[in-house]
Amino acid sequence: MYLITVFGNLLLILAVSSDSHLHTLMYFFLSNLSFVDMCFTSTTIPKMLLSIQTQSKVITYAGCISQMHFFLLFAVLDNHILTVMAYDCFLAICHSLHCTVNMNQQQCGLLVLVSWIMGVLHSLLQCLMVLRLSFCTDLEIPHFFCEIKQVVQLACSDTFLNYTVMYLGAGLFGGCPLGGILYSYSKIISSICGTSSAQGKYKAFSTCASQLSVVSLFYCTSLGVSLSSAATQSSHSSATASLMYTVVTPMLNPFIYSLRNKDIKRTLKRLFGKETIKGLIVLGLKKCI
C-alpha cells in the first residue's frame, strides 16, 4: 500500500508536469496535494514497516519529536490545500467570469507558500510545547507513530497548557479549513441545483466531483478517528483507524483523480504510449544490427 501511494502520487505529478495542457490552477494544486500526501505517508509508514521487519518498536526521543513535527506539518498542509482547491472549484462554478481575476498563478503560489509557513510555525509550536514536558524513564506509546496526544498523555508534568494549545491549533488549522470547505461546497451544490440545463448540471458536478470525493474521504476518516477514540478510549482501535487517513486516503487520491478525470487519463495513455513506441524502435534497431 505504501509503494502504491508513492508511485501513484509520483505518476500523477509526472502527468501534470509533462503535459502543458494541465498547467492550470486546478492541476497545480493537485500536484501539490500529491506531493504533500507522499510526505504525509512517509513520516509514519517507513518507521512502522521497519519496526515490523526488525521486531523492534523502539524510537529515539529526537526521532519521536521529528516524526511528530513532520506529521503535524503535512497534516496542516493537507487541510489548507484541500481548502484552497474547494475555493478554486467554488470560483470556477459560481463566479466563472471572475475566476481568472480572483485566482491567478502568482496568488496561488502565494497561498501555497503561506500554507507552508503556517504549517511549519504550527508544528514547531506544538513540538516546543512537548519539549517543555518531563517524562518518566520508560515510555510506551500505544500507537504505531508518535501521535502528539498520546505522547502528552504520558507526561509526568502539568499538561494543561499543552492541551490548550493543541485544541486551539486543531480548531484553527482543522476546524476553520473544514468550515471553509463546507461553505464552498454548499454554494457549489446550490448553484448546481439552480441550473436548469441537465447538461450544465453534469458538467458542473464533474468539474469538482474528484475534489469532493477526496475531501469527503480525508475528513470522514480523520473525524471518525477523533470521535471514535474519544468515545471508546481504545488505543488499539484508534491506531487501526488512523491507518485510514495516513495510508488509505493518500493511496486512493491518485486513483480517484485519474479514474474520474479525462485529462489525466488522456495524458497517462499518451505518456505510456510514447514509452511503448520508443521501446519498439530500440528493439527494432538492435535486431537490424
Burial class (CB in 10 A: 0-12, 13-18, 19+), 279: exposed
> What's residue 243's pLDDT?
79
The predicted model gives 213-223 an average pLDDT of 75
The answer on pLDDT for 34 being more than 60 is yes
- Closest by Cα among 73, 82, 69 to 129: 69
Buried b (16+ CB within 10 A) or exposed e, 227-238: eebeeeeeeeeb
More confident of the two residues 98 and 112: 112
Distance CA 275, CA 277 (A): 5
Name the residue with higher pLDDT: 226 or 64.
Answer: 64
Contacts 24+ apart (CB under 8 A), 30-35: 30/85, 30/257, 32/81, 32/112, 33/78, 33/81, 33/82, 33/85, 33/214, 33/253, 34/9, 34/10, 34/253, 34/254, 35/9
Please name the residue that has the C-alpha cell 493511496.
Answer: 251
Reported as a pLDDT band with limits 50, 70 and 90, residue 204 is: low
Provide the pLDDT for residue 226: 63
In this prediction, residue 286 carries a pLDDT of 45
The fraction of the chain above a pLDDT of 90, given in percent, is: 23
pLDDT tens across 117-150, in order? 999 999 999 999 999 998 877 788 888 888 888 8
- CB–CB of 51/19 below 8 Å? no
| pLDDT tens-digit series, residues 226-285 | 665 555 555 666 677 677 778 888 888 888 777 666 777 777 777 777 554 444 445 454
List, as one string, the DSSP characters of 1-42.
Answer: -HHHHHHHHHHHHHHHHH-GGG-SHHHHHHHHHHHHHHHHHH
pLDDT for position 289: 41
pLDDT at 277: 44
Domains of the chain: 2-135+143-288 (1.20.1070.10)
pLDDT of 235 reads 62
What pLDDT does residue 100 have? 56
Residue 20 vs residue 250, higher pLDDT: 250
pLDDT category at 211 given cuts 50, 70, 90 is: confident
- Residue 51: what residue type? S
